Amino acid sequence: MSQRTLQEALQEVLQDDNKVSKYEARVLRELIMADGKVSTEERQVLHTALEKNQLDEEAFEMLSQVLLRADLK
């Protein structure tokens, strides 16, 4: 079984309304943190989603914190 990438998961949650909700962001965060680190590819996917305004307010807060913590390490 192939592991689902963050990009694939993001595309899937955007299919219904083109926005990531708080609950969808939790799933994405768990996918990102499954290996205990935020990879370069994962950072790029998150940056792109932030730039394209694809996150609702609560999802923005949650996933931007993931990026901030990753940048501080």
Domain segments of the chain: what residues? Answer: 6-72
Is residue 64 within 8 A of residue 47, CB to CB? The reply is: no
Structure tokens that stand for 43 in this block: 């950072």
Length of the chain counted residue by residue = 73
Is it the case that residue 6 has pLDDT exceeding 80?
yes
Which residues are CB-neighbours of 32 under 8 A, at least 6 positions away?
6, 38, 42, 46, 66
The pLDDT tens digits of the residues spanning 7-57 come to 999 999 999 999 999 999 999 999 999 988 899 999 999 999 999 999 999
pTM (two decimals): 0.87
Model confidence at 4, in pLDDT bands (50, 70, 90)? confident
Which residue's entry shows tokens 């680190």? 37
The amino acid at residue 36 is: G
